[in-house]
Structures are given as C-alpha cells and as structure tokens.
Amino acid sequence: MLALVGAEDTLTPPMLARTIAEGVADGVCVELPHAGHLASLEQPHAFTQALSAFLGRLS
C-alpha cells in the first residue's frame, strides 16, 4: 500500500499518513514537498514519479 501525502497537508497530515502506512503490511509512505491535500495537482511530476516507482516495485 502506498500513502502519498503532501508535506503541507492539514486534512491528512504526514504523521497520519505514516501511521497508516506503518499499520499495513508492506506499507510505504512518500511525503511530497511543497504540496498540500491535493498533492497530485500541486506537484504532478513528483506525484507521478512516486507512484511509478512504487508500481515498478510490484512487477
């Protein structure tokens, strides 16, 4: 499971995302700098890179 979180997210703070990832087998948390709750819109390149890297490890 991948938890992608913006470093500046106040709705789902990074600490909560890390806790969720730690509670799941093989959970991974990636914190994207300069992003809030809509990290995929605020940092699309970093979001895509993190997602691609995670999916690449699954195959």
pTM of the model: 0.89
The span from the CA of 30 to the CA of 50, in Å, is 7
Question: Closest Cα to residue 46, out of 31, 58, 56, 59?
Answer: 31
- What average pLDDT does the segment 2-28 reach? 97
Residue 23 predicted with pLDDT over 80:
yes
In angstroms, the CA 43 to CA 33 distance is: 8
What are 5-16's pLDDT values in tens digits?
999 999 999 999
Kindly report the length of the chain.
Answer: 59
Strands of the chain (E only): list them. 2-6, 28-32
Instruction: Answer for the pair 8, 14: CB distance below 8 angstroms, yes or no.
Output: no
